[in-house]
Amino acid sequence: MTTVKEAEEIILAQARDYGSEQVPFEQALGRVLAEDLKADRDLPPCNRVTMDGIAIKYAAVESGIKTFVVKGIVAAGDVPIEIDALNECVEIMTGAALPDTTDTIVRYEDVDIKNGVATLCTNNIRKGQNIHYKGKDKEQGETVAVANEYINPAHISMAASVGKSTLLVKKLPRVVIISTGDELVNVDETPTPYQVRRSNSYAVKAVLQQYHLIADTLHIPDEPTITQIQIKECLATYDVIILSGGISMGKFDYVPQVLEGLHVEKLFHKVQQRPGKPFWFGKHENGVLVLAFPGNPVSTFMCLHRYFLPWLEQSLGVSSKPAFAELNEDVTFTAALQYFVQVKLKICKHGHLHATPIEGHGSGDFANLLDTDAFMELPLEQSIFKKGEVYRIWPFKQIM
């Protein structure tokens, strides 16, 4: 049977670059930047005043001058007013450009202004204080953000500042999520006691939405001819097909045979893991990738996070740091499978991530996903995992 490590390698070897596209910068949040962002001018673009107050020449302080004639008022955005003598100053506001004839800002709290004359109320003045110098943060042409990162609000702010109204971002693959199973009914239907409402395609769609990937969904019955016709159509339309259900040993599990009949080359079937053992992965001759997950909701959810998301990130060129947590309780698992135990995460007072196992009732217990935050990947070689040991986790929620 294929090990988790092998399955991961086989899938990551199929990572693709789907190209890039321009999008309005306000719609780029959460996408992956496909270009370096550069400063179109110095940041800040002038010597920028950082306090409301008066601008003076420091030489005046050195020569003992304490009172200054106010030559004018400079607001942010104004052309600076220059002084002609050491005993002159200008009132100046935060964000305004420093006049070249001045070099120091004394904040309003430290001056008394009456009848057009400013008197210093402090001896504590440093040359150059309260000025953010031109080009100090970034120089014109310098890179301010590098490609291959998720665009976050700071990128949006920077794009606005450097006048990039569109951003080049990585294109996302076209994905269809197909659920299978005659026992599944629509969300707005009332199931008999023998039926269930389908939830997997919504779960998968929601996870992908976090990557701004809007997938199509489709449901097909457990019937080989319809399965064949529908999957054939999808192979011509999408880059990736994610299936749930129909790949196990059941009498009505037609998916693997249909896929192989459609020239989707099987790259593996069955992974040495729990949940998700029947996982099937293959590649069509036209390059379309097919990830067929077992239908049990926890299996689909785990396989999506453990295999599809790393593939997606590799395809988009981003490298997320692996996350680890410390076990809070012992876990025993004796089957010869790599166990992905569901855990609740908590940050301890020392800032470390602690994981409390909440095993749930098997891969059909999707309610347990609401009580947990991540899958913890426990090594295959061991069967006893002790409190205090640290293992890799695959979070499916934001850790707070």
| Contacted by 244, from ligand AMP, Mg ion, none: CB < 5 to 8 Å by type | ligand AMP
Here the contacts of 95-102 (C-beta below 8 Å, separation 24 or greater) are 95/48, 95/49, 96/48, 96/49, 97/46, 97/47, 97/48, 97/49, 98/46, 98/47, 98/48, 98/49, 98/55, 98/131, 99/55, 99/74, 101/57, 102/55, 102/56, 102/57
Least CB distance to ligand AMP at residue 348 (A): 35
Q: Which of residues 196-215 bind ligand AMP (CB under 6 A)?
A: 196, 198-201
Q: Which of residues 215-274 bind ligand AMP (CB under 6 A)?
A: 244-246, 248, 250
Least CB distance to ligand AMP at residue 43 (A): 50
Residue number with CB closer to Mg ion (194 or 400) = 194
| Contacted by 101, from ligand AMP, Mg ion, none: CB < 5 to 8 Å by type | none
Q: Which of 173, 245, 275, 360 binds Mg ion (CB under 5 A)?
A: 245
Least CB distance to Mg ion at residue 183 (A): 7
- How many Å apart are CA 76 and CA 42, to the nearest integer? 17
368 binds ligand AMP (CB under 6 A): no
Least CB distance to Mg ion at residue 248 (A): 8
What number of chain residues touch Mg ion (CB under 5 A)?
4
Q: Which of residues 129-188 bind Mg ion (CB under 5 A)?
A: 181
296 binds ligand AMP (CB under 6 A): yes
Asked whether the beta carbons of 67 and 60 are under 8 A apart, the reply is: no
Asked whether the beta carbons of 95 and 112 are under 8 A apart, the reply is: no
Residue number with CB closer to Mg ion (99 or 181) = 181
Residue number with CB closer to Mg ion (184 or 378) = 184
Residue number with CB closer to Mg ion (295 or 297) = 295
Least CB distance to ligand AMP at residue 42 (A): 55
- How many Å apart are CA 15 and CA 137, to the nearest integer? 37
Least CB distance to ligand AMP at residue 211 (A): 20
Query: Which residue's Cβ has the minimum distance to ligand AMP?
Result: 295
- How many Å apart are CA 68 and CA 218, to the nearest integer? 77
Q: Considering only 99-107, 147-155, 170-178, 246-254, which stretch makes contact with Mg ion by CB under 5 A?
A: 246-254
Least CB distance to Mg ion at residue 246 (A): 5
Phi, psi angle pair for 99, to nearest 5°: -65, 140
Q: Which of 53, 173, 256, 295 binds ligand AMP (CB under 6 A)?
A: 295
Peptide bond into 379 cis (omega under 30): no
Burial profile 312-329: b = 16 or more Cβ within 10 angstroms, e = fewer: bbbbbbbeeeeeebebbe
Q: Considering only 19-27, 39-47, 142-150, 294-302, which stretch makes contact with ligand AMP by CB under 6 A?
A: 294-302
Q: Which of 44, 297, 310, 360 binds ligand AMP (CB under 6 A)?
A: 297
99 binds Mg ion (CB under 5 A): no
Residues 6+ apart with CB under 8 A from 216: 175, 176, 177, 238
191 binds ligand AMP (CB under 6 A): no
Q: Considering only 126-134, 148-156, 224-232, 288-296, which stretch makes contact with ligand AMP by CB under 6 A?
A: 288-296
- How many Å apart are CA 179 and CA 73, to the nearest integer? 69
Q: Where do we find the tokens 């379309």?
A: 288
Phi, psi angle pair for 291, to nearest 5°: -110, 110
294 binds ligand AMP (CB under 6 A): yes
Asked whether the beta carbons of 307 and 3 are under 8 A apart, the reply is: no
- How many Å apart are CA 106 and CA 125, to the nearest integer? 7
Q: Where do we find the tokens 């790259």?
A: 267
- How many Å apart are CA 14 and CA 368, to the nearest integer? 32
- How many Å apart are CA 53 and CA 108, to the nearest integer? 4
Pairing status of strand 67-74 against strand 88-92: parallel
Q: Considering only 63-71, 290-298, 338-346, 371-379, which stretch makes contact with ligand AMP by CB under 6 A?
A: 290-298
- Per CB under 6 A, residues contacting ligand AMP are 179, 181, 183-184, 196, 198-201, 244-246, 248, 250, 294-297, 364
- Per CB under 5 A, residues contacting Mg ion are 181, 245-246, 295
